[in-house]
Structures are given as structure tokens and as C-alpha cells.
């Protein structure tokens, strides 16, 4: 099954992707995670991407499209994948149509006031990329691999506002682009409440 997850930063795409991946046996391909791995290297590309990510902007389409295209050719993507954070521009969506036949696009919806609250208290494991809320993990230690959690630079208040503007200007037009192909879900409730309608929908799609 080939799935695109669409939604603003902090809407819960990553958490939802992990649940789908666990139950439907397809990998989560997060472009944000791929870029965070790249910036750990010491290369001209790494430095450029680091600067863009820190500002909350988007990495150029050519770089992003090439990265995803290559990643989807790997063995683990043969049975399908969940694209988390790609496409983020209409250009990327058009390119994706050329190299992948997506089965469904899930739009995760959440009011921006809640997004700002959630992103401000989000903590991430720099080792395994697991996501936590500070309220549920006051010790700030990853429950999976025991690593000290961090607050991503781009989850700091000044950058969050810019990321939401970038979403409105560049990514929200994809809602029209996909139109009738969208399955919409609200993530205002708990992660499990968000997942249930998606699970039911995907089970029907798979049948």
C-alpha cells in the first residue's frame, strides 16, 4: 500500500505513520528524518540543508525529489510505503505522480493554536526519532532506546510560526491538488482516536 500523509507540521503525521507502519507492514519514509540524517554529515549539501531546516524553510524541490525517488527504490519499499512530509509542494506532488502510483492521501487536520501548543512541548529522540510530548515524558528519556530527548531547533517558537506560514503558502495548495482523493481525519483527540478511522479506512482499501 502506498500512502501519502498530508498535514501541517505538528499535526501528528509522524505518530500516525508509525502506527500504520506497525500494523500494515510498510515503512515510514519521513523526508524530515532523511534530512536530519544528512545534516549529521560534513558536506556542502549537509551545510545547506542545515541552514534551511533551522530557518523552517523548504529544501529545494530538485534535491528533495531526487532523495525520495532514490529511497523508494530500496528493497523495503517493494510492498509499499507511507510518505510522511512529502510532497510538500505542488511541484513535488507532480514529480511523485511520475515515479509512484499512490493508493491514498490522508489529510491530518488540526487547528493552528493546538499545533503551536503541541510543537512547543514536542521532544524527539535524536537516536531513533521517536516523538514524545513533554507532558507524557517529564524525564525526557526515550522509552525505546534510553537516549536523552532533545527539542528540535525548528520546534522553537520563533521557527514554528514560519513553518506554519510555509505550510499555508506551499503545502496547503496540495489539498486542492488531491481534491476528491483525500481521506480527512482530525487529530484533535488522542493518537489512538486519530488512528482508528484511518485503520478502518485502510483495512477496507486493502480488502
Q: Minimum Å distance from CB 203 to ligand AMP? A: 26
- SS3 state of residue 81: strand
Distance CA 161, CA 141 (A): 27
- Please answer whether residues 132 and 149 qualify as being in contact, where contact means their C-beta atoms are separated by less than 8 angstroms: yes
The H or E element containing residue 2 is: strand 2-7
Helix segments in the chain, DSSP class H:
13-24, 31-38, 44-55, 61-71, 90-99, 112-120, 157-166, 173-178, 191-206
Residues 91-120 that bind ligand AMP (CB under 6 A): 92
Q: Minimum Å distance from CB 66 to ligand AMP? A: 11
Cα 131 off chain centre by: 12
Residue 22 annotated to the active site: no
Number of residues that bind ligand AMP (CB under 6 A): 17
Q: Minimum Å distance from CB 90 to ligand AMP? A: 12
Q: Minimum Å distance from CB 154 to ligand AMP? A: 6
- Please answer whether residues 72 and 81 qualify as being in contact, where contact means their C-beta atoms are separated by less than 8 angstroms: yes
Residue of 1, 45, 46, 52 that binds ligand AMP (CB under 6 A): 52
Does 88 help bind ligand AMP (rule: CB under 6 A)? yes
The catalytically annotated residue of 2, 50, 71, 152 is: 152
Residue 123 annotated to the active site: no
Hey, what's the cell of 188?
Answer: 484533535
Cα 61 off chain centre by: 16
Does 59 help bind ligand AMP (rule: CB under 6 A)? yes
Q: Which is nearer to ligand AMP, 156 or 205 (CB)?
A: 156
Q: Which is nearer to ligand AMP, 50 or 199 (CB)?
A: 50
Residue 204 annotated to the active site: no
- The closest alpha carbon to 76, from 127, 24, 25, belongs to 25
The catalytically annotated residue of 18, 88, 118, 123 is: 88
Does 12 help bind ligand AMP (rule: CB under 6 A)? no
Residue 118 annotated to the active site: no
Residue of 86, 132, 167, 195 that binds ligand AMP (CB under 6 A): 86
Hey, what's the cell of 171?
Answer: 503545502
- Please answer whether residues 119 and 151 qualify as being in contact, where contact means their C-beta atoms are separated by less than 8 angstroms: no
Active site residues: 13, 88, 122, 152, 163
* Interface contacts to ligand AMP, rule CB under 6 A: 9, 31-32, 35, 52-53, 56-59, 64, 85-86, 88, 92, 154, 163
Amino acid at each position: 500500500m502506498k500512502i501519502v500523509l498530508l498535514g501541517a507540521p505538528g499535526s501528528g503525521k509522524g505518530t500516525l505513520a508509525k502506527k500504520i507502519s506497525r500494523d500494515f507492514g510498510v515503512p515510514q519514509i519521513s523526508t524530515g528524518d532523511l534530512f536530519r540524517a544528512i545534516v549529521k554529515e560534513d558536506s556542502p549539501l549537509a551545510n545547506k540543508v542545515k541552514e534551511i531546516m533551522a530557518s523552517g524553510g523548504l529544501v529545494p524541490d530538485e534535491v528533495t525529489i531526487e532523495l525520495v525517488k532514490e529511497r523508494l527504490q530500496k528493497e523495503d519499499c517493494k510492498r509499499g510505503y507511507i510518505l510522511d512530509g512529502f510532497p510538500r509542494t505542488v511541484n513535488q506532488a507532480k514529480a511523485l505522480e511520475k515515479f509512484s502510483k499512490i493508493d491514498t492521501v490522508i489529510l491530518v487536520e488540526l487547528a493552528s493554536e493546538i499545533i503551536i501548543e503541541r510543537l512547543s512541548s514536542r521532544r524527539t529522540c535524536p537516536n531513533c526519532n521517536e516523538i514524545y510530548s513533554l507532558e507524557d515524558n517529564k524525564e525526557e528519556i526515550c522509552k525505546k532506546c534510553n537516549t536523552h530527548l532533545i527539542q528540535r531547533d525548528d520546534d522553537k517558537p520563533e521557527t514554528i510560526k514560519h513553518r506554519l506560514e510555509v505550510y499555508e503558502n506551499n503545502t496547503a495548495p496540495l489539498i486542492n491538488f488531491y481534491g476528491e482523493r483525500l481521506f480527512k481525519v482530525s487529530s484533535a483527540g488522542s493518537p489512538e482516536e486519530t488512528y482508528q478511522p484511518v485503520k478502518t479506512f485502510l483495512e477496507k482499501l486493502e480488502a
